[in-house]
Amino acid sequence: MTVWLALDLLLAAGSLALAFGVVRARRVFTAIALFIAHGLLLTLAWVRLDAVDVALTEGAIGAGLSGVLLLAARHRLARVGAGRVAEAPGRAVTIAIGLGCAAVTAALGYAVLALPDPAPSLAAEVAASLAATELGNPVTGVLMVFRGLDTLLEAAVLVLAVIGVWSLAPDRAWRGAPGAPWTVVEDGPLALLARLLPPVGIVVAVHILWVGADAPGGKFQAGAILAAMGLLAWLAGLARVPPTASRPMRATVAAGPALFIAVGLAGLMFQGAFLAYPEGLVKPVILLVEFVLTASVAAALALLVLGPPSADARP
């Protein structure tokens, strides 16, 4: 037990040190590098909190895709100039802000220590109703059935975010391929890994999606891995992104949420409640929605990392 406590304290201390490093870093690049390392430590923390589903998502999205997004943005800002930067606050204001933030942390810390005992929990309710969903993973049960509406809205948020990012494209670049042009490196580790990793990654993603019904995993984790594999191939110049005008690509992004809404409406018509699944077909319908959502999530995440079509000439 004490060994595990020591590991927890070590993880927490490392995470704290990296967070301080991010805030104090002189260069944005350093801050982003430390932030990625911080995300990886958090992934381990989630495993220690017995939240493996969250750990998979944090590793894939929090550390992986966010890291790529931020590093690419820094690279681009370094090229076009950082734009206007607001003035940093003076010493007195900084100290006041520090005291205020310390107070926020103290209040939150007190709340964590003062949580009621025994802790309120919905675990018993989930355990009692999980059998009806024919799923073995309680988190998937909550995501797809008990809080299905949240998941539907989240899937819709991804579509809206893609629309939002695309709408920031300059007029003359509209209808072009998403993402800023990139100098493709023909050889070296990237070119090798972009050929070796995607086949493995696709198998891993499909596995994580398939076991998600009964073990940690599911559409978001699988979608994030698929998106990463697509981005890897794109970075190495092995894959092209269709232009924003491409109908198949738009359909892929929208298909998952659209199917989810259709299933919800069917539930309203035949079962009397929005998102009520037909009896006897609960698991097949959930799996179908998960599969189509995976494709949509993967496409949306990759497009969000790529950003709007750019008017830049190829460097």
Partner 1 sequence: MSGTVFGLLGAALVGIGLFGMLVRAQPLMRIVCFNLLGSGVFLVFGAVARRGAGAGFAADPVPQAIILTGLVVAFAATTLAVALVLRLADDEDEAPR
Q: Which 285-314 positions form the footprint of partner 1 (CB under 8 A)?
A: 297, 301, 304-305, 307-308
- Looking at residue 72, its amino acid is A
Contact map string, positions 73 to 112, toward partner 1, x by CB under 8 A? xx-xx--xxxxxxxxxx----x--xx--xx-xxx-xx-xx
Instruction: Report residue 63 as tokens.
Output: 């550390």
User: Which C-beta is closer to partner 1: that of 106 or that of 288?
Assistant: 106
Among 40, 70, 215, 261, binds partner 1 (CB under 8 A): 70
What part of residues 174-193 is at the interface with partner 1 (CB under 8 A)? none
**H or E element that contains 187:** none
Cα separation, 296 vs 309, whole angstroms: 19
Closer residue to partner 1 in complex, CB, 172/188: 172
Residue numbers 231-290 binding partner 1 by CB under 8 A:
none
Q: C-beta of 29: minimal distance to partner 1 in Å?
A: 10
Question: In Å, how far are 109, 137, 173, 202, 279 from 132, measured between CA atoms?
Answer: 38, 13, 51, 31, 9
Per CB under 8 A, the list member of 20, 132, 195, 243 interacting with partner 1 is 20
| Residue 254 to residue 179: CA distance in whole angstroms | 20
The 3 state secondary structure assigned to 192-212 is HHHHHHHHHHHHHHHHHHHHC
| Other CB atoms within 10 Å distance of the CB of residue 55 | 21
Between the CA of residue 14 and those of 47, 48, 106, 315, what are the distances in Å? 16, 15, 20, 39
Q: Estimate the crossing angle of helix 66-80 against helix 282-306, to 10 degrees.
A: 20
Which residue's CB is nearer to partner 1, number 237 or number 312? 312
Contact call for residue 197 and partner 1 (CB under 8 A) = no
Which residues between 105 and 164 bind partner 1 (CB under 8 A)?
105-106, 108-109, 111-113, 115, 119-124, 126-128, 138-139, 141-143, 146-147, 150-151, 154, 157-158, 160-161, 164
Name the residue nearer to partner 1 (CB basis): 89 or 284: 89
Binding string, residues 24-63; x marks residues near partner 1 by CB under 8 A: -x--x--xx--x--xx--x--xx-xxxx-xx--xx--xx-
- Out of 40, 136, 165, 266, the only residue in the binding site for partner 1 (CB under 8 A) is 165
Structure token digits, residue 173: 């670049």
- Which residue, 208, 157, 201, 161, is CA-closest to 303? 161
Least separation in angstroms between CB 187 and partner 1: 29
